Every structure is written in C-alpha cells, then in structure tokens.
Amino acid sequence: MRLSVKICLIVLAAYFAAAVYGEVQYRVALARDVTPAYNVVNTKERYQPPSARHWLGTDNLGRDVGLRLVQGTRIAFHVGIMTSLIAIPLGVILGLLGGYFGGKTDSVVVWLCATVASMPGLLFILAISLVVGQGLIGLYLGIGFTTWVGVCRTIRAEVMKHRDRAYVQAAKVLGYSHMRIMFRHILPNVAHIVLIQFSIRFPSAVATEVFISFLGIGVQGEPSWGVMINNARARLWQGVWWEMTFTTLAIFLLVLVFNHLADVLRDRLDPALRSER
C-alpha cells in the first residue's frame, strides 16, 4: 500500500472518530435536555484566538470553535452517508434495468436521467426543504434525489458491455430469471463502480451541504461547516481569522482525501485501467 494511501486512511479515520465523538456528545445533550457544550454562549470569551484553553479559538458568542468543528464533521458524515444511501441504490437499480433490458425500458431511464440532470439542483433542494421543512431531512432527500444520475449513467454503460458476454448468455440458457442475472451475476462484476462512485459522491454531497447551509437553507441551529463559514465571513475584516481558516481547512482536507482515494480505487479496480498497465 502506498504511503499516500496510508496517510489518507489515517486522516479519514481521524475524521470518522471526530464524527462519532460529535454524535455521542450531541445524543447525550439531547437525552439530558441541556444545551450542548458547543452551543453554550459565553460573551466574556468572545473572539478569543487559539490558546491552551480553546485550541481553535472562539466565535462571536464565545463558543469553542474546535467543538463546533467536530459537530460540523458529524453533520458532514451524516449528509455524505445518507445521501449516498439514497442516490447510489437508485442509480444502480435504474442503471441495471436500462442497461440490461434496453429498448423502451432504457428509453425511460435515459429520459429520467436527462430530466433530473436538467433541473437546477439548488431549486430542487429548496423545493423539498419547503415541503419537509429546513434541516437535515430536506438535505438528505434533495441531494440524494438530484445526484443519482451520474451513478445511473455509469452503471448503465457498464451493464451494456456485460449483457452480451458469455457468462450472461449461459445464465439465460440455464433459465435463470432476469432479476437473478442482473443482481447475482452482472452486479458483482460492476460492484467496483459502486465503491468508486461512493468515494466521489461523498465529498460532493458534503460540499453541496456546505453551500446550501451557507445560504441559510440547510441545517438550522447546528454548527454545520456552511453555517460556520457564513458566521465567520463578516468578521474577517476585524482580524478574526481562525474560525474561517480552520473550517475551510477541514473541508479542503476531507475533499482532498476522498478525491485521492477515488483516484486510487479507480486505478486499482477499473479493469480497463488495469489492462493498460
């Protein structure tokens, strides 16, 4: 295993540990019906720079930036995982159906992809948020139902290559059902695409959530990274640089790690790239 991959996995494990710690902290405060430590206001410690007491400083209400950054990591993992659980299965199923059956079924799948891809994602997320209410649920549904198209198109193209291969034809001769052929024979041979798509979709979903929350549409009352950036931008001119800096670095590092891992997975799992080497 390359050193860069090991470093990425270590960094990703650190993010995951922070997300788990943030989830525990959030659930404990919720169970006790108390204000979480990251939301406790202390006006006497406003705008404190990084120090031994507050490693990443404090914001305009005296709240610890480090604790809020951990909660932002929790929200980022929630969004990345939950939206993937919506978009990837939807894209895989539609891609399998369109690529395997072809004809009218494929025409419907292609039409759905073109229709969803043509819709402005931000407006779609806003519309869902208006229906279900602002918060994580609206983000899950909005991002999940607007980002399955890439997965579907990739899976569809790959399935079209496999449906005429010898092992699929042999399964048809043996009388296996279409569902069995698709899910037990073809899907395992294109499973590497699902893993690659997840590593690509996760940071994309996080970046979308940050942007949506920055606009004030997404998470409310919780320290999402987008909310933190929105709160910090107005205070840069006062020399309060730490909240914006550390939040931006957290987003940059997470996206960088996932993008690098996606490249490595594609190089190792894509049969076409393996054959070129």
Please indicate, yes or no, if residue 48 is contained in any of the structural domains: no
Q: Sign of the C-alpha dihedral, residues 211, 216, 219, 221?
A: positive
The C-alpha atoms of residue 112 and residue 93 are separated, in whole angstroms, by 13
Query: 96: domain CATH number?
Result: 1.10.3720.10
Please indicate, yes or no, if residue 18 is contained in any of the structural domains: yes
The 10s digit of each residue's pLDDT in 187-204 is: 988 888 888 889 889 999
Please indicate, yes or no, if residue 80 is contained in any of the structural domains: yes
The 10s digit of each residue's pLDDT in 13-69 is: 999 999 999 999 999 999 998 989 899 898 888 888 898 888 899 998 889 999 999
Please indicate, yes or no, if residue 226 is contained in any of the structural domains: yes
Q: Sign of the C-alpha dihedral, residues 225, 227, 230, 232?
A: negative
For residue 275, pLDDT beyond 70: no
Please indicate, yes or no, if residue 10 is contained in any of the structural domains: yes
The C-alpha atoms of residue 46 and residue 247 are separated, in whole angstroms, by 18
Following CA atoms 66, 69, 70, 76 in sequence, which dihedral angle do they give, to the nearest 10 degrees? -170
The two structure tokens encoding residue 130: 């208006």
Please indicate, yes or no, if residue 42 is contained in any of the structural domains: no
Kindly list the distances between the CA atom of residue 158 and the CA atoms of 149, 162, 187, 195, in Å, as whole numbers in the listed order. 14, 7, 10, 14
Identify the band that residue 1 occupies on the pLDDT scale cut at 50, 70 and 90: low
Please indicate, yes or no, if residue 181 is contained in any of the structural domains: yes
| Residue range of the domain that includes 148 | 3-37+61-276
Share of the chain above pLDDT 90, in %: 48
- The tally of domains found in the chain comes to 1
Please indicate, yes or no, if residue 49 is contained in any of the structural domains: no
